[in-house]
Chains A and B, each alone.
Chain A
């Protein structure tokens, strides 16, 4: 079964600190892996997208990495800000259709002042 699992489920850090979120997937083959940010009560917003041949992609303070051999991805957030408090969701394209996203359950990040 194609799955996307994320860890930790939730994370609390102090403002200014760095953190790394993990994503393990069993989806194979896949065309791309995305990280989305979802604020409470809002829809997900795309942060990064990587194809299976890419190792890393950055978007400001967000850096995503991908290891297609171990089927793992991580999202590193540098110098966290209060506005980073949100759920971060790993999303992999379903082999049966690149439009069909398989969502992880997300990591809830809380940044404290």
Chain B
């Protein structure tokens, strides 16, 4: 049973480009969470999604960031017009339901040049 998968593991973008981060949850999990970890800081909650629904996006920056979890395929975290401050590790987690333990993927390390 494969764990949570994220790709790419490393992503380099120039300022102004778009970054697309993908997350495939554990088999059987329909709840997905995205977290951001800045250097020397703890992970910070961004958004919680179920299939085709955004449940809680209270941690998402108001502009340039969006997330989706379509009926088929992985969850996508999209960052438009990236800036240097977006450089961070982005972790995805999944769970069986909203109260269950979250299982984390290996993260995508985004570097904005």
The number of residues on chain B lying at the interface, defined by a beta carbon within 8 Å of a beta carbon of chain A, is 27
* B106 pairs with A42, CB closer than 8 A: yes
Known contacts A43-B104, A103-B42, A105-B41; is-contact A98 B91 (Cβ 8 Å): no
Which of B12-20, B63-71, B72-80, B95-103 participates in binding chain A? B95-103
Task: Determine whether B43 belongs to the interface, using a CB cutoff of 8 Å to chain A.
Answer: yes
CA distance A111 to B74 in the complex (A): 37
B residues at A contact (CB < 8 Å)? 4, 31, 33, 35, 40-45, 48, 55-56, 58-59, 91, 93, 95, 98-99, 101-107
- List the one stretch of A13-21, A44-52, A69-77 in contact with chain B: A44-52
Contact A43 B106 (CB under 8 A): yes
Provide the residues of chain B in CB contact with A100, threshold 8 Å.
Answer: 45, 48, 56, 58-59
Determine the chain B residues whose CB is within 8 A of the CB of A106 once the complex forms: 42
Does A41 reach chain B (CB closer than 8 Å)?
A: yes
Interface size class, chain A: 20 to 34
Given A43-B104, A43-B105, the answer on whether A99 and B31 have CB atoms closer than 8 Å is yes
A105 to B104 alpha-carbon distance, docked (Å): 17
Of the candidates A36, A89, A97, which one forms a contact with B56 in the assembled complex, judged by CB atoms under 8 Å apart?
Answer: A97
Question: Are A101 and B106 interface neighbours, CB within 8 A?
Answer: no
Cβ of A4 under 8 Å from chain B:
yes
- Of A41, A44, A45, A97, which contacts B43 at CB under 8 A? A44
8 further contact pairs, Cβ within 8 A, besides A98-B98, A103-B44: A4-B42, A41-B106, A42-B106, A43-B91, A97-B98, A99-B99, A100-B45, A100-B58
Could you pull out 25 A-B pairs where Cβ atoms are within 8 angstroms? A4-B42, A36-B104, A41-B106, A42-B107, A43-B91, A43-B93, A44-B104, A45-B104, A97-B48, A97-B56, A97-B98, A98-B98, A99-B33, A99-B98, A99-B99, A100-B48, A100-B59, A101-B35, A101-B45, A101-B102, A103-B42, A103-B43, A103-B44, A105-B40, A105-B42
